[in-house]
């Protein structure tokens, strides 16, 4: 080898490391956006597993015919006019 000098790592910046180590505004914005997407994904995964474990809990207890006032169930031909 050439006297024990280590090879430069491609992950470490050469030169002034303190000025290059900070992230730019675009990188910070992208990082925050990705973190928010992962939080949203986690919420959706938890919600889907809760629906899979208890699917009838999320269904409403009322039916489509509960809102009909003065009409009997199945008599829609008179209400369409």
Supply the pLDDT for residue 39: 98
CA distance 11 to 14: 9
Torsion-angle region of 70 (φ positive above 0: left; ψ -120 to 50: alpha; else: beta): left
pTM of the predicted protein model: 0.46
The predicted-structure confidence for 21-66, as pLDDT tens digits, reads as follows 688 999 999 999 999 999 999 999 999 999 899 888 877 776 665 5
CB atoms within 10 A of CB 13: 13
Task: Give me the DSSP letters along 53-64.
Answer: H-TTTSS-SS-T
- Rg over alpha carbons for the chain, rounded to the nearest Å, is 31
């Amino acid at each position: 080898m050439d006297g024990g000098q280590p090879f430069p790592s491609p992950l470490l910046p050469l030169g002034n490391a303190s000025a290059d180590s900070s992230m730019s505004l675009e990188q910070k914005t992208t990082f925050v956006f990705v973190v928010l997407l992962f939080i949203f994904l986690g919420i959706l995964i938890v919600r889907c597993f809760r629906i899979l474990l208890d699917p009838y809990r999320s269904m409403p207890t009322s039916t489509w015919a509960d809102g009909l006032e003065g009409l009997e169930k199945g008599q829609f031909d008179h209400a369409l006019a």
